[in-house]
Structure 1
Amino acid sequence: MLNYHHLRYFREVAHEGNLTRAAERMNVSQSALSTQIKQLEERLGHPLFERVGRRLELTEIGRITLDHADRIFATGQELVATLDRSAQSVPPLRVGALSTLSRNFQIRFLAPVLGRKDVDLTLRSGNEDVLLAALKSLNLDVVLATEPPRNAAGADFVAHKLDEQAVGIHGKSERLNHPTLRGLLVKEAFIVPTESSIRAGFVGLAEGLGVTPRIVADVDDMAMVRLLAREGAGLAVVPSVVVADELRANRLASAPFALDIMERFYAITIRRSFPHPLLETLLKA
């Protein structure tokens, strides 16, 4: 087994770069500290330092070991902060989001904690199964999605509805000059996110009007939907929050037709005795 006492001594010396100063900081003798590091090197089977002048420099194995040591002890501090509700420090906030979710919406959700010096953020994107598995194993604190969990068996998930927005058609203003929605659907090309409710709703709407829309791009990244619409590759079928910056700057415009398609936004959590202390603030905001 790895001796974490040895690992702690190694970490202090690695950050200090000097055996004598590290021994003084830790209130141990230099020989005892040197012995502890030698025992760690024997356990790992590799030298961790090489001497350059008066300074100790990490070997390649030493740098790898230090990276792991920093994460191990940071996790320990996070554990203490999580369980000690009176602690001043705030554990890192770990947020997952579907890869198709609007980046603008994610920023709005995180707005109350952005810029806070006491909050570290970890952001992950992926598909529903991967993110919910991470939430269930407590590797994430919250998952942002567009629908409640479909595969919730065996997990105590809670879906908090945050918002809902109408889906519209957005693009270059010169491409929106059609008198009817049907005429727009017949003449123009469309960029559609692979997110199920939007795509299914759009295709169903077109079929109801007797049109097979020309979809030039199925995209699983909302940021790419924005870019393609800005470049004039087609008209984007998305909620306005996705292209909010472009609409404000008049780089894109919105078609004056109601699609009767709604996009809903959820924050999915799991019932925990020790939820992240900032979750309630974010959900209320």
Structure 2
Amino acid sequence: MSIGVLPTLSRNFVEHFVSPLLAKPEVSFSLTARGMSDLLNGLTNHELDLVLTNRPVSVETKDAPWIVQQVSRQPLAIVGPKESKIHTPFSQGYESAHWILPGKNTEIRTAFNLLCATWQYQPDVKAEADDMAMLRLLARDSGALAVLPPVVVKDEIRQGLLEEYQRLPDAYEHFYAITTQRKFVQQVLIELLQKSQNI
């Protein structure tokens, strides 16, 4: 099975998604990171069987070849160094905080901007990164606060390097699996998509 992933996607999410395949000795798979247009072209050309993304694809036209399925949603949280945890509700106590944030065109940034607007809070943004792996490293090493799904930094939280300060109210990052309409669909792909509903 050939699986395409958006480079900015959380590696922890991808690993969790494909873990059922690792338990099947008869199945092998490849993971390829590409930009969104290349991923969709790969589906069209049958180079890829499945695409994982955190960006929805429009399927409004009757002839759209894509089958888009939301496979997970992860809550968003403010995460920072454990020893500096702010225990008060946002935005109290965050006046001197520095921030590491996803890019301006992401679902996560939109949710955080809405929270800031609600509380008339102006964040001191030290860095922006679209890549979740880079966001994870910056959150771990900079001493600044970050806004992301806790699953992205689950290892750092478990090790006591970072801590979840608080969840953003009703805010999530959504994850999608995209396939194409085909006469024959691999049984293992059907099972994978069914299991993903529990992620």
TM bracket, shorter-chain basis: 0.7 to 0.9
Q: Answer whether contact 2:21 2:28 (CA < 8 A) is retained.
A: no
CA RMSD of aligned residues (A): 2.0
Name the CA distance, whole Å, in 1 between partners of 2:119 and 2:16.
Answer: 35
Aligned-partner Cα distance in 2 for 1:163–1:257: 17
Alpha-carbon distance between aligned partners in 2 of 1:241 and 1:248, rounded to the nearest angstrom: 11
Counterpart of 2:177 in structure 1 is 267
Amino acid at match of 2:120: G
Runs of 5+ unmatched residues, structure 1: 1-92
Question: TM-score scaled by structure 1?
Answer: 0.62
**Aligned twin of 2:6:** 98
CA 119–184 in structure 1, closer or farther in 2 if over 3 Å, else same: farther
Instruction: Give the alignment partner of residue 29 of structure 2, picking from 88, 102, 121.
Output: 121
Out of 53, 77, 80, the position equivalent to 1:145 is 53
Determine the C-alpha separation between the residues in 1 that align with 2:114 and 2:127: 17
| CA pair 211-133 structure 1, distance change in 2 beyond 3 A | same
Q: Provide Cα deviations, 1:86-113, integer angstroms capped at 9, x if missing partner.
A: xxxxxxx111112221111101110011
- Is the CA contact (8 Å cut-off) linking 1:100 and 1:193 kept in structure 2? no
CA contact (8 A) 2:59 2:66 kept: no
Match of 2:95 in 1: 186
| 1:258-285 CA-partner distances (Å, limit 9, x unpaired) | 3431111111111111223321111111
Corresponding position: 1:224 with 2:134: yes
Q: Structure 1: how far apart are the matches of 2:45 and 2:184?
A: 14
What's the CA shift string for 1:163-192, capped at 9, x where partnerless?
Answer: 112100111023322523113543211122
Deviations 1:87-146 (A, max 9, x none): xxxxxx111112221111101110011254433322122332221121122111111112
**Distance in 1 of aligned mates of 2:93 and 2:152:** 21
CA distance in 1, matches of 2:96, 2:191: 46
Aligned residues: 193
Aligned pair in 2 of structure 1 residues 257, 104: CA closer, same or farther (>3 Å)?
closer
Rg larger in structure: 1
State the secondary structure of the residue aligned to 2:100.
strand
Query: Gaps (5+ residues) in structure 2?
Result: none
Q: 1:259 to 1:213 in 2, by over 3 A?
A: farther
- Aligned amino acid, residue 70 of structure 2: K
d(CA) in 1 for partners of 2:181, 2:189 = 12
Secondary structure at 1:144's aligned position in 2?
strand
1:111 and 2:4 correspond: no
8 Å Cα contact 1:102/1:242 also seen in 2: yes
Q: Is the 8 A contact 1:175 1:188 kept in 2?
A: no
Structure 2 residue 78 is the aligned partner of structure 1 residue 198: no
Q: Is 1:240 the equivalent of 2:153?
A: no
**SS of residue paired to 2:78:** strand
* CA distance in 2: counterparts of 1:257 and 1:247, whole angstroms: 14
Which has more helix, going by share of residues?
Answer: 1
Residue identity in the other structure for 2:150: S
The Cα of 1:249 is off from its aligned counterpart by 1.8
On the 8 A contact 1:94/1:142 being kept in 2, the answer is: yes
- State how far apart, in whole Å, the 2-side matches of 1:124 and 1:168 are: 28
TM-score relative to the length of structure 2 = 0.87
